[in-house]
């Protein structure tokens, strides 16, 4: 028999069971919290028609896609969960209730060049609220509220939400008579990476000194949220700016009222989140003390979810967690607690096959009581059996020899201390 070297394709995350349990625990916390806030699950096919995936026009995305090698070359693996959501809402429009709150936790695919921390297959965890014709601005406070609770339940420090509103930012740039805003926005977006001095120098290549100073004052305030919002009242003035500021104030007040502490919110007029998709509220989320790993959950408000698939006006707001990358990052910095997610507490060890049935009686009893117990049914020496219990990491081994069986007892061994105790079956 020829042996093929067993290996996965490059650029994917495959975990050993212990880490998988920790990963699944995170995924479950995310899913349970999504459900607590009444987001409904959807599950769409991994393979979509190319005409759906590229309805918006290909560009960068098309190069990254995994296409299926069928004769017709007309389908590919999804690269995000947003296009499938748009297709789903448009296809099932008549059967959905709006606002439609959905979550979707699933794998997406990108033929990325292979580099550290970048994955070709990774989990996205998305929540979105989709309105029909309109969607109240108060909804924009819900996604960060959900994300806040998720990170509270994970083994991480607190998070800080940076929030902004694209109307405020665009209105501000309009008020400065900056019409070609793309380069300025790109610069604002990378200000934390390049530092304030470089930002100013590069700004001066695009606008005059006075405007550069005004932009820097706008995007780099140290004021607290309430004061910052007050200071923005008179900063510049036009309709778009005022609409954006009003929305930002509203979203902030709802976030507070929904229970996100003020200290976990940072209103930040420099947040842009991509240049053409989001139209109002935008958010980024940072783990306090670990800001260098980047935003762990981002999103925002958009006006036209499914304009390529439907004539219905479908505004929405949502946030997303890139779980595979997040798990990798949290593990790297030691914030994944694998002990929390171990499976087995008790391993029942019959000394020989003669004891198996009695050992199974004990297993059945422990299972009835909701205990996390397993049984070791292989032959071999006791040493080998203890070694298995050690490696699996159980807290207790229940040892069943002939005398235990005959007397209806169990020897309970504490695997940490090595202490043993003989207990009646009836008193387990």
CB of 214 to a second copy, least distance (A): 34
Give CA–CA dist 325/293, Å, rounded: 10
Q: 198 phi and psi, to 5 degrees?
A: -60, -40
CA dist list (Å): 68 to 50, 73, 118, 249, 271? 10, 6, 22, 47, 37
Total binding residues toward a second copy, as defined by CB under 8 A: 94
Range 271-290, binding a second copy (CB under 8 A): none
Range 5-24, binding a second copy (CB under 8 A): 5-9, 12, 14-17, 20-21, 23-24
Question: For 6, which DSSP code?
Answer: P
For 286-298, letters b (16+ CB in 10 Å) and e give bbeebeebbbbbb
Count CB neighbours of 8 within 10 A.
9
Range 239-268, binding a second copy (CB under 8 A): 254, 257-259
The smaller minimum CB distance to a second copy, of residues 44 and 174, is found at 44
Among 82, 139, 170, 329, binds a second copy (CB under 8 A): 139
CB of 408 to a second copy, least distance (A): 16
The smaller minimum CB distance to a second copy, of residues 235 and 388, is found at 388
> Quick check: 426 binds a second copy (CB under 8 A)?
no
CB of 356 to a second copy, least distance (A): 6
Among 193, 311, 381, 383, binds a second copy (CB under 8 A): 311
Peptide bond into 302 cis (omega under 30): no
- For residue 47, list its beta bridge partners: 77
For 93-116, letters b (16+ CB in 10 Å) and e give beebebbbbbbbbebbbbeeeeee
Range 95-124, binding a second copy (CB under 8 A): 95-97, 99, 101-102, 107, 109, 111, 120-121
Residue of 219, 217, 23, 213 whose CA lies nearest to 122:
23
The smaller minimum CB distance to a second copy, of residues 173 and 323, is found at 323
CB of 134 to a second copy, least distance (A): 7
> Quick check: 353 binds a second copy (CB under 8 A)?
yes
The smaller minimum CB distance to a second copy, of residues 370 and 418, is found at 370
Among 49, 186, 224, 263, binds a second copy (CB under 8 A): 49
- The tokens for 6 are 């067993």
For the annotated binding site for L-histidine, the residues are 80-82, 110, 124, 128, 273, 277-278
């Amino acid at each position: 028999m020829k042996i093929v070297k067993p290996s996965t394709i490059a650029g994917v995350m495959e975990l050993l069971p212990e880490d998988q349990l920790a990963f699944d625990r995170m995924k479950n916390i995310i899913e349970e919290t999504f459900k607590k806030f009444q987001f409904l699950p959807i599950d769409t096919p991994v393979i979509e028609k190319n005409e759906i995936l590229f309805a918006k026009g290909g560009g960068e995305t098309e190069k990254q896609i995994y296409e299926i090698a069928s004769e017709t070359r007309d389908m590919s693996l999804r690269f995000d969960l947003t296009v499938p959501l748009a297709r789903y809402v448009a296809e099932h429009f008549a059967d959905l209730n709006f606002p439609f709150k959905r979550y979707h936790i699933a794998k997406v695919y990108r033929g990325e060049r292979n580099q550290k921390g970048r994955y070709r297959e990774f989990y996205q965890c998305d929540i979105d609220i989709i309105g029909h014709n309109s969607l109240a601005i108060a909804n924009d406070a819900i996604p960060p509220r959900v994300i806040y609770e998720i990170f509270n339940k994970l083994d991480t420090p607190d998070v800080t939400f940076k929030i902004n509103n694209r109307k405020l930012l665009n209105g501000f740039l309009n008020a400065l008579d900056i019409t070609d805003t793309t380069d300025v926005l790109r610069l604002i977006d990378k200000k934390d990476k390049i530092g304030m001095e470089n930002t100013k120098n590069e700004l001066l290549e695009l606008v005059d000194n006075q405007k550069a100073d005004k932009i820097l004052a706008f995007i780099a305030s140290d004021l607290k949220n309430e004061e910052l919002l007050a200071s923005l009242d008179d900063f510049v003035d036009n309709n778009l700016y005022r609409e954006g500021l009003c929305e930002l104030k509203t979203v902030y007040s709802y976030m507070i009222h929904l229970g996100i502490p003020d200290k976990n919110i940072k209103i930040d007029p420099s947040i842009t989140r991509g240049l053409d998709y989001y139209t109002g509220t935008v958010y980024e989320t940072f783990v306090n003390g670990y800001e260098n790993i980047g935003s762990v959950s981002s999103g925002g408000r958009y006006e036209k979810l499914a304009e390529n698939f439907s004539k219905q006006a479908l505004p929405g707001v949502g946030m997303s967690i890139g779980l595979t990358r997040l798990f990798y990052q949290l593990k790297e910095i030691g914030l994944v607690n694998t002990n929390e997610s171990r499976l087995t507490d008790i391993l029942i060890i019959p000394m020989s096959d003669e004891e198996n049935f009695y050992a199974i009686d004990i297993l059945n009893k422990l299972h009835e009581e909701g205990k996390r117990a397993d049984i070791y049914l292989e032959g071999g020496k006791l040493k080998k059996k203890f070694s298995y219990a050690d490696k699996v990491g159980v807290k207790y081994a229940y040892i069943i020899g002939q005398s235990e069986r005959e007397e209806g007892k169990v020897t309970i061994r504490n695997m940490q201390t090595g202490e043993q105790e003989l207990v009646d079956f009836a008193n387990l």
